């Protein structure tokens, strides 16, 4: 199927990034969220990020304006029904995602492909709650979407070949690289990344090092662009905890047990950059370690 029009559920960090790259690649995008403020904020972020690309000579001013013109916003989820491909980019909670797909189903065109940007939840299980498991798959972008080059494509047990090929063609049109993953908890990237972050939090929890020494050690000792605790704050500690719980529950291996300190931070509402406090305090001009 030749995908031309794309629906994006969610105008937040991931959703507006997906809308950005899709529109820039020439797709028409319908972006949905629960409030007009969220949609307006998402469009503003897209515009600002496109401006940065213009300033760096990555795209022209005309390309920026054309991309913005391709993005429309809507509060009505049924408006996404006549798109060729829907990418759900809502919060990382299965009940929320399932409710979105259930609300969409009565309005979908017969050919519409459903996908989820989930970073860990079973694609097979999400697909089974819809009327088209063969036209359902995981479409996992990395954050920040306009910069990161990888997209994980995850087939559910029922995903058919035409659906996979259509999604693969979309990734190619974006100029990104697709990595295919089987439908096991957290797929590839987060199956490897999150236990590393969780272990860094255990290292902090056990007093082996403080926030600064742990992040400095991985940046300079392993050549990582960001330290694991800084990266956890960037991703969101609630998201990190959710993925670790999916790994722990899905694989029943104690090596995936979330660190109690991670749980405590989430319980405190210290979720990282988005709440201004996590392993660093972002309320001042310079981030300050909280431990």
CA 273 to chain centre: 16
Angle between helices 237-251 and 260-268 in degrees, nearest 10: 140
Give the β-pairing of 71-74 and 28-32: parallel
Residue 190 bears catalytic tag:
yes
Q: Which listed residue (32, 49, 117, 119) is catalytic?
A: 119
288 forms beta bridges with: 281
Q: Which listed residue (20, 190, 198, 230) is catalytic?
A: 190
Residue 107 bears catalytic tag:
no
Q: Which listed residue (32, 116, 140, 166) is catalytic?
A: 140
Match 């990282």 to its residue by tokens: 272
Residue 140 bears catalytic tag:
yes
Residue pair 91/33 in contact (Cβ under 8 Å)? The answer is: no
What whole-number distance in Å separates Cα of residue 197 and Cα of residue 192? 9
Q: Which two tokens stand for residue 6?
A: 């794309």
Residue 20 bears catalytic tag:
no
What whole-number distance in Å separates Cα of residue 106 and Cα of residue 113? 14
Q: Which listed residue (152, 166, 198, 230) is catalytic?
A: 152
What whole-number distance in Å separates Cα of residue 146 and Cα of residue 168? 18
Express the helix, strand and coil content of the chain in percent, nearest 5 each. 50, 15, 35
Residue 213, H or E segment: helix 211-221
Integer-rounded Cα Rg, in Å, for the chain is 19
| Residues forming the active site | 119, 140, 152, 190
């Amino acid at each position: 199927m030749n995908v031309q029009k794309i629906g994006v559920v969610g105008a937040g960090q991931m959703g507006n990034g997906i809308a950005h790259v899709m529109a820039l690649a020439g797709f028409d995008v319908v972006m949905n969220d629960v409030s007009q403020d969220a949609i307006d904020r998402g469009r503003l972020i897209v515009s600002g990020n496109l401006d940065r690309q213009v300033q760096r000579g990555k795209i022209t001013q005309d390309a920026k304006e054309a991309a913005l013109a391709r993005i429309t916003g809507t509060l009505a989820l049924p408006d996404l029904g006549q798109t060729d491909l829907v990418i759900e980019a809502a919060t990382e909670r299965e009940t929320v995602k399932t409710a979105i797909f259930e609300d969409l189903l009565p309005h979908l065109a017969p050919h519409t492909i459903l996908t989820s940007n989930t970073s860990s939840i079973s694609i097979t299980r999400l697909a089974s709650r819809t009327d088209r498991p063969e036209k359902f798959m995981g479409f996992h972008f990395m954050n920040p979407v306009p910069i990161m080059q990888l997209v994980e494509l995850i087939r559910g047990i029922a995903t058919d070949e035409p659906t996979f090929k259509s999604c693969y063609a979309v990734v190619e049109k974006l100029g990104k690289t697709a990595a295919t993953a089987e439908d096991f908890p957290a797929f590839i990237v987060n199956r490897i990344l999150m236990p590393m972050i969780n272990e860094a939090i255990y290292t902090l929890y056990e007093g082996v090092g403080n926030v600064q020494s742990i992040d400095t050690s991985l940046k300079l000792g392993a050549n990582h662009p960001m330290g694991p605790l800084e990266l956890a704050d960037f991703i969101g500690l609630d998201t990190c905890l959710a993925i670790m719980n999916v790994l722990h529950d899905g694989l029943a291996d104690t090596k995936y047990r979330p660190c109690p300190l991670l749980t405590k931070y989430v319980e405190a509402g210290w979720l990282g950059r988005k709440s201004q406090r996590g392993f660093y305090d972002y309320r001042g001009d310079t981030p300050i370690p909280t431990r």
